[in-house]
Structure 1
Amino acid sequence: MGQLANPNANTESLTVIDNRTGKSYAIPILNNTVSATAFKSIAAPKKPGERDENETTKGLRVSDKGFLNTAVIQSEITYIDGEAGILRYRGYPIEQLALKSNHLETAYLLIYGVLPSKEQYHNFRLEVTRHRVVHADAEGFFRSFRYDAHPMAILTSAFAYLGSYYSEANPSLQGQKLYTKGDAESLEMIDRQIYRLIGKATTLAAMAYRVRQGREFVIPPSHLSYTGSFLYMMDHMGEENYTPNPVLEKALDVLFLLHADHELNASCTTVLQTASSLVDPYSAIAAGCASLYGPLHGGANEAVIRMLISIGSPENVPAFIQAVKKREKTLSGFGHRVYKTSDPRSFIVRKTADEVFKVTGRDALLDTAMALHDAAMKDEYFVRRKLAPNVDFCGLIYRAMGFPLDFFPVLFAVPRVVGWLAHWRQMMIQEGGVKIWRPRQVYVGPSKRDYEPIDSRAPSDSPRTVATAVEHSGITKRTMLATFKGKL
């Protein structure tokens, strides 16, 4: 809590003078961070005529729309310096990991904090492999979706569905301290869910892919790598000794490693927000998957390709740039909430793309993408706004590998399960236990109003306060024109 300041106050503190009262407060600074709750001690008398809803006498609230500068948790997992273009997993630069490690080894690092020994890695990989198979009933679940259902809608539902098979993993059924006791039994229960979710992520994603193709599902093979098994489950059609192309297998592994975690992005925050209620991890992962679905997050690389297709060819880039400046078009694949210089992953993506194109052939959209890149990097409009190209250009690799556009977010979600689980595990075993995340709001709505009978109310004429009339067609339209008993 903030204390009244004194001349001998700790230099590692922030002195705040409340000009409303003339009081001075010393707010402690720890790890270059001040506690938002410390500002609750800075209270003032209510001014004449001031709204009760401001709660002035209860202390200051800290407003931060969109979490632009609010830390909600202490973490040891991922470090990002957006100004310098730095990304590190548990202290290891992403460039080193992409060159020397693989996705499953990096998953171990993210979740447990250290690079595994040879035996630890073998056991971890073995457990993930053992847990890839899903219940036979899952086939009926996947077949229940429409033929044109978006694969992210299927995958999101599948993660939630998966939790229904494991009642022993649900704190609502087994007690709310199931994952937070910190003893060996609790840690084992956490790890079992981690193996299941990482192992089954590729299986569920492959099933979401094949159900769209009208194909039978494939049992996960035990002799292939994590990404090799994924490609096998998506593509195998009964061929003898089928083995995915090693270049594509390696490229997918590198992209999975790059996408495994990215600190408290929207989907990770959603997972932790959901998990803070001590819900089962399958529901929390499903919530993260739903958040990732959005075009401002995991759907961005799909949006990049659709943008490039709409541009067409390099000669159309100047006109598109002008349209963006006039706010007539949206520029996807440039700019990032965190990175203000180039995303460090983009250099690795570029190298990976070159290797993939040697096998698949060069994507025709690459010329358009590079023309857009060069034009934007030289244009003062984009330079001034620090709209550097980011990692979403990996969509070109997915396109070259033959994946449909709407499957791109799935290829983002599968590896990100690792990061979500790393943060989930960290939250479950943190000192002090888990507190439910409950942000404050600044209420600016009406003060107390008295209820009016419906016959005495004047109709509202503001568009924001009027329910929209929806145009109906088909059966609904004909039913509205029909006559029947009880019709409204």
Structure 2
Amino acid sequence: MGQPTKNLASGDNSLTIRDNRTGKVYTVPIQDNSVPATSFKSIIAPFQEGERAENETDKGLRVADKGYLNTAVLRSEITFIDGEAGILRYRGYPIEQLALKSSHLESAYLLVYGSLPTQNQRKTFETEVMHHSVVHADAAQFFRSFRYDAHPMAILTSAFAYLGSYYSEANPSLKGQTLFTKGTPESLAIMDKQIYRLIGKATTLAAMAYRVRQGREFVIPPTGLSYTASFLYQMDYHGQTNYQPNPVLAKALDILFLLHADHELNASCTTVLQTGSSLVDPFSAIAAGCASLYGPLHGGANEAVIRMLISIESPKNVPAFLEAVKKREKVLSGFGHRVYKTSDPRSFIVRKTADEVFKITGKDELLETAMALHEAAMKDEYFIKRRLAPNVDFCGLIYRAMGFPLDFFPVLFAVPRVVGWLAHWRQMMLQEGGVKIWRPRQMYVGAGQRDYVPVEEREAVEGQGKTPTPVVHSGMSKRTMLATFEGGAKL
């Protein structure tokens, strides 16, 4: 077995590892069914003949986990997901109960502060969020700087970063790096104010991004309306007297916002924490999360579902589409999930909410295609074996029925997710032991040390991806490149 090193833990709650390279035995502690990755740094071995120095074998074993498939980066009290059982809980409360009995802002309080609020606590929180929904008048000029056809997620991402420029009090680079980590009453008060601002202004910024597309003047957030009713008002008000958004649509949007508020350490939340670990201001961290959500593998998925259904056209084309999916000629959107290996628990609530919306908007013409696709996939052994059950991305049918354009769907995902991002950011700022900047390791597999070669002595390296792709110029660029002028040369 070789000479054992000093044990890293004792007792039964541990993992015993034998390094076959050296014969040494190591004991690694297990806590909360996890092992500390740094424990593996003590598992060292001498270099073997022919081994690359870049492997750093003498500096300890590394844990390889491409895409974070099984790496726990923090301890959290916020959201629990059991993908096998199809369970989602906010702070211990089942999502089904919250969707039925709670509201988006009440659940936001729960996610951020850890418990359901009393009546007075809820009133204070909701009042502050709505009070901080107004943006500076200069914001109108910022939004008008975008083209009319700019993607609303590009606008929203930029707007969150822009917002931080107004609040120097919230910038640790200006006020000291312990601004949010001290946990003092003064520090917590500053933190809370930024939370109010970001949740409150999220709908305002999103509505302004929407109205850029419409070519309309921006609307000041109204008073006396709910969070989602105020959002709808800011998007749709056009001078009508006593304008009131439809309560069914406002309620449906509130439920969807609640469902999307948090989902543990998904790509965008992890981006917020990665960015926030540098102790940047929360507005910049939220902007980074918004950029991550923009991607088609994340926030753009519900838009992809609708585009898929449009491409199928009608229920009669579903069988042929599924056969194309099996042949990897088509992509099936809205089914399957990185975490859930059974039905997404949010999908059932989405279906019920859709029924309420369709009663007043009429059924979306894609609904029959969606239902046919669902029924066929759930009976097909190919999809059953792969556990490709419907996920929450089918909420796009509701957004479409409510009249939102396709490219606005990710915005409707980002606005409520601000809550979850802030809850995790706050938890990290206040965690025991302070904040350590996130710095993953890598496995370097590139060239070893090479000596510099003068340009006239180099041999060209060809091949796809080995050399930059030339741009085909036209118009003014082409004419300029053909011209002669002082300081330039004819090509």
TM-score of the two chains, using structure 1 as the length reference: 0.98
Once the two structures are TM-superposed, the CA of residue 144 in structure 1 deviates from its matched residue by 0.2
Distance 2:384 2:476 in 1: 53
Once the two structures are TM-superposed, the CA of residue 354 in structure 1 deviates from its matched residue by 0.3
Pair 1:453 & 2:454 matched:
yes
Distance 1:475 1:347 in 2: 55
Three-state SS of the structure 1 residue aligned to 2:30 is strand
Contact kept? 2:10, 2:29, Cα under 8 Å: no
2:281 maps to a residue whose letter is: D
Once the two structures are TM-superposed, the CA of residue 194 in structure 1 deviates from its matched residue by 0.1
Name structure 1 gaps, 5 residues minimum: none
1:216 match: 217
2:77 maps to a residue whose letter is: E
2:104 match: 103
Once the two structures are TM-superposed, the CA of residue 134 in structure 1 deviates from its matched residue by 0.3
Q: Considering only aligned residues, what root-mean-square deviation do their CA atoms show, in Å?
A: 1.2
Name structure 2 gaps, 5 residues minimum: none
2:120 maps to a residue whose letter is: E
Once the two structures are TM-superposed, the CA of residue 470 in structure 1 deviates from its matched residue by 1.7
* CA-to-aligned-CA distance 1:402-426 (integer Å, 9 cap, x gap): 0000000000000000000000000
TM-score of the two chains, using structure 2 as the length reference: 0.98
2:197 match: 196
* CA-to-aligned-CA distance 1:190-237 (integer Å, 9 cap, x gap): 100000000000000000001110000000011100000000000001
Matched residues, number: 486
Contact kept? 1:260, 1:417, Cα under 8 Å: yes
1:326 match: 327
Distance 1:319 1:27 in 2: 52
Three-state SS of the structure 1 residue aligned to 2:28 is strand
Three-state SS of the structure 1 residue aligned to 2:17 is strand
* CA-to-aligned-CA distance 1:285-320 (integer Å, 9 cap, x gap): 000000000000000000100111011001111111
Pair 1:399 & 2:400 matched:
yes
Once the two structures are TM-superposed, the CA of residue 5 in structure 1 deviates from its matched residue by 7.0
2:133 match: 132
1:205 match: 206
1:28 maps to a residue whose letter is: P
Contact kept? 1:159, 1:285, Cα under 8 Å: yes
Once the two structures are TM-superposed, the CA of residue 375 in structure 1 deviates from its matched residue by 1.2
Three-state SS of the structure 2 residue aligned to 1:96 is helix
Three-state SS of the structure 1 residue aligned to 2:46 is coil
For residues 48-197 of structure 1, the aligned pairs below 5 Å read 48-197=49-198
Once the two structures are TM-superposed, the CA of residue 465 in structure 1 deviates from its matched residue by 1.3
Distance 2:99 2:385 in 1: 31
Matched-pair identity in %: 78
1:380 match: 381
Three-state SS of the structure 2 residue aligned to 1:4 is coil
Three-state SS of the structure 1 residue aligned to 2:81 is strand
1:50 maps to a residue whose letter is: E
Distance 2:266 2:113 in 1: 20
1:221 maps to a residue whose letter is: P
Taking structure 1 as reference, are residues 319 and 5 closer, same or farther at Cα in structure 2, changes over 3 Å only? farther
For residues 195-344 of structure 1, the aligned pairs below 5 Å read 195-344=196-345
Contact kept? 1:271, 1:424, Cα under 8 Å: yes
2:434 match: 433
Distance 1:225 1:189 in 2: 25
Three-state SS of the structure 2 residue aligned to 1:424 is helix
Distance 2:153 2:448 in 1: 42
Contact kept? 1:5, 1:15, Cα under 8 Å: no
Distance 2:179 2:276 in 1: 13
2:421 match: 420
* CA-to-aligned-CA distance 1:56-109 (integer Å, 9 cap, x gap): 000000000000000001000000000000000000000000000000000000
Distance 1:199 1:52 in 2: 53
